[in-house]
Chains A and B, each alone.
Chain A
Amino acid sequence: MDLSETGEEAAFRAEARQWLEAHVPAAPLASFDTAAGFEQHRAWEAELFGGRWSAVSWPVEYGGRGADYIKWLIFEEEYWRAGAPGRVNQNGIFLLGPTIMEIGTPKQKARFLPRMAAGTDIWCQGWSEPNAGSDLAGIRSRAVLSDDGEEWILTGQKTWCSRGAFADWLFGIFRTDPAAERHRGLTFILLDLRTPGVTVRPIPQLDGETGFAEVFFEAARVPVTHTLGQVNRGWQVAMATAGFERGVSLRSPARFTTTADRLVELYREHADPDLAGEVVQAWMDAEGYRLHTYLTVSRLLQGGTIGAEASLNKIFWSEMDLRMHETALRLLGPDAERPERSWVDGFLFALSGPIYAGTNEIQRNVIADRVLKLPRGTAP
């Protein structure tokens, strides 16, 4: 165990800090859930890519730096410390990208990864459907092979696609063998949202901005070369992606240590001794999540894997984030109902944490079944 940074790690941190200080926009960008803000964030992704900072953990050949997990965490710490913009392409860079690298064809890697890293293609995910939420295997959207076998013909509907309103591409799973058992017969498909037969309908979220979209497919034709992994093996591909998402990359600890630091500042402005304990607990929880993450990635670096334990992470960060925002609202008192306060906006977003990426109830089932080895219930 050595919790001090190596010289190389310290140099990496210094380089990241220096670049970010020189490049992070002085004024905050507009929300990426607006049309104008989305393009500002796309431009920022391109700027990050220009400095080779958009996908630091990717290999150099795709525009990354080949950074290991520790360096990735260091970069994230510097990124949040610098107050840099949110990552509009996080679904692509952190979820889809690693999956393409693992199981994509050479053509897919060449076609998708550089444009993803550069922010040329912004990705959203298409998993949920109106009748397939927690019960994701209940997916009904169909993909049928064309007569010549060259294209998938998609019909059906996806929903709750974050950033789907303005994204360029969607990755999702579609039913390709309706006769197969629920978790089989699904295929992972990548598609251009401008494909004829695809209709995107934005959905305003609690903050009034169109952070969501639902996407309709009416005989939309997609080349079969855009199948990721094997046909009818889409569930396994999706679960690999979900492992990355819940495990480490979706919410880096720096996001929450930054929130905790802001909460401490808010406490200094509104010092309410009754809330001191909550503020201290919030700071400890953010730090606790950081330590837990470092322990996890150190295990990964030694050849370990992350499995159902990822569900512990997801529960912890999502409930911590919500608690921190609730504490902030208590400190704000009468200002807690004013939406222009960033804490209020953050609260509205934090509310969705225990829901997206697999509800916390599903995560608790996963922990009980796979870590504690309790017997499976009748449902789910």
Chain B
Amino acid sequence: LRFAFTEDQLLFQKAVRDLLVKECPPVAVRHAWSSSDARAESSVRWSHLAEMGVVGLLAPAASGGLGQTEVDLVLLVEECGRAALPEPVIETAAVAMPLLAAAGEGRAGAVASVIAGEWPVAVGLIDTGPYVAGAATARLLILQAGDDLHAVEPDDVQIIRVESLDPTRGLGIVTWKPTPVNRLDVPPGAADLAFDRGALASAAFLVGLADRMVELAADYAREREQFGQPIGSFQAVKHLLADALLRIDFARPAVYRAAWSVAQPETPADLRGRDVSMAKAYASDAATRAARVALQVHGAIGCTWEHDLHLWMKRAWALAAAWGDAAWHRRRVGRWLLG
């Protein structure tokens, strides 16, 4: 038994972190806010992530992917969260990629386009609720009807735009028709697995967001002086931040274990769902707490549009509620635990 990542996995994580520090600074996230119709495929950083193999990580090597697993992916998605990456890495890399790759030869073209970073994908499952993130800018939509999943072209859907607190979410309500042609030929249970992958990746993303918010707040607490000393020297402030860090530190292993459970094909669906739900509940709680604490530590400046903190807070609130909120996931653990 070994609950640790390999040197290679950690190096890959660091490479993604370094890339995003350069190519996804707060000013870039802010830019994505003001141009929410910007297309992922025209984003340089998205194509760089695709070149590194992040987008196609879960596709088999034979299809041009890296043939890696969710265990590899969560570390990278955590970094995307740390940078508040505007592009749809959860939907595209974690959910659509393995689904399309499992759908057989007929989808080889779509697989290649997704791996290349040309096709950002939106995902609308029954359990993800009425709003489809990134619907208007997606080049392909994975949509659920009953037990079946469908890969639908943008031309075949009607979208009503819905505003989100976080404009990069690009929410839409999608009207469409399932047909035998757009139906994905995937094994039974694929929709549940797709949901678990999305919830897992959003949990990893939330951990990254939370970690960055605590980091921002700690930085601020070291700089900002009141009563002639940095506010970070006051116990009331120290304890707020220590508590926020605690939740992140305990969310992380839950996310890593859930990644392991999803990556093992032999994991029974109920245990996989339990582990993913625990991870998402922990991560949602950790991120909303981190947002709350980071805001409190920043004080009034954190309540302004001008300050960058809300770029992370709003994504955290959005993702904490998406892919099942903490209460939804606790109920799912409860059904497993208490019957």
- Knowing A312-B245, A367-B245, A374-B222, the reply to whether A2 touches B1 (Cβ < 8 A) is yes
Please state if A364 and B238 are interface contacts (CB–CB under 8 Å).
yes
Please state if B4 and A1 are interface contacts (CB–CB under 8 Å).
yes
Please state if A377 and B3 are interface contacts (CB–CB under 8 Å).
no
Please state if B239 and A264 are interface contacts (CB–CB under 8 Å).
no
- Knowing A2-B2, A312-B245, A377-B235, the reply to whether A280 touches B337 (Cβ < 8 A) is yes
Residues of A in contact (CB 8 Å), total 48
Question: Cα distance A50–B237 when bound, in Å?
Answer: 51
Closest A residue by C-beta to B333? A280
Question: Cα distance A356–B234 when bound, in Å?
Answer: 23
Please state if B253 and A361 are interface contacts (CB–CB under 8 Å).
no
Nearest CB of B to A13, in Å: 11
A171: CB under 8 A from chain B? no
A281: CB under 8 A from chain B? yes
Question: Cα distance A277–B332 when bound, in Å?
Answer: 11
B101: CB under 8 A from chain A? no
- Knowing A1-B256, A276-B338, A368-B241, the reply to whether A294 touches B222 (Cβ < 8 A) is no
Nearest CB of B to A69, in Å: 10
- Knowing A361-B235, A367-B246, the reply to whether A284 touches B221 (Cβ < 8 A) is no
Q: Report whether over half of chain B's contact residues are helix, strand or loop; otherwise say mixed.
A: helix
Residues of A within 8 A of B (CB): 1-6, 9, 70, 264, 267-268, 276-277, 279-281, 283-284, 287-289, 291-292, 294-295, 298-299, 301-302, 309, 312, 315-316, 361, 363-365, 367-369, 371-378
Please state if A373 and B218 are interface contacts (CB–CB under 8 Å).
yes
- Kindly list chain B residues whose C-beta atoms are within 8 Å of the C-beta of A70: 1-2
8 Å CB contact of A377 from B1, B233, B242:
B233
8 Å CB contact of B222 from A283, A295, A373:
A373
B243: CB under 8 A from chain A? yes
- Knowing A299-B4, A375-B232, the reply to whether A316 touches B246 (Cβ < 8 A) is yes
- Kindly list chain A residues whose C-beta atoms are within 8 Å of the C-beta of B331: 280
Contact with A along B191-217 (1 / 0, CB 8 A): 000000000000000000000001000
Nearest CB of B to A367, in Å: 4
Please state if A291 and B1 are interface contacts (CB–CB under 8 Å).
no
Can you sample 20 A-B contacts with CB below 8 Å? A1-B2, A1-B256, A2-B2, A4-B1, A6-B1, A268-B338, A277-B330, A277-B334, A280-B337, A289-B250, A291-B254, A312-B249, A312-B250, A364-B243, A368-B238, A368-B241, A369-B238, A372-B218, A374-B241, A375-B229
Closest A residue by C-beta to B4? A298
- Kindly list chain A residues whose C-beta atoms are within 8 Å of the C-beta of B71: 1
8 Å CB contact of A364 from B5, B214, B242, B327:
B242
8 Å CB contact of B337 from A6, A264, A299, A369:
A264
- Kindly list chain A residues whose C-beta atoms are within 8 Å of the C-beta of B6: 1
Please state if A288 and B330 are interface contacts (CB–CB under 8 Å).
no
Nearest CB of B to A26, in Å: 29
Question: Cα distance A375–B233 when bound, in Å?
Answer: 5
Closest B residue by C-beta to A73? B1
Question: Cα distance A279–B339 when bound, in Å?
Answer: 13
Please state if B234 and A288 are interface contacts (CB–CB under 8 Å).
no
8 Å CB contact of B3 from A276, A277, A295:
A295
B282: CB under 8 A from chain A? yes
Question: Cα distance A312–B244 when bound, in Å?
Answer: 11
Nearest CB of B to A3, in Å: 5
- Kindly list chain B residues whose C-beta atoms are within 8 Å of the C-beta of A373: 218, 222
B230: CB under 8 A from chain A? yes
Complex interface residues of chain B between 262 and 303 (CB less than 8 A to chain A): 278, 281-282
Nearest CB of B to A311, in Å: 8
8 Å CB contact of B278 from A284, A299, A367, A376:
A284
Please state if B3 and A368 are interface contacts (CB–CB under 8 Å).
no
- Knowing A276-B338, A369-B238, A375-B229, the reply to whether A292 touches B5 (Cβ < 8 A) is no
Nearest CB of A to B103, in Å: 27
Question: Cα distance A4–B71 when bound, in Å?
Answer: 14
- Kindly list chain A residues whose C-beta atoms are within 8 Å of the C-beta of B252: 295
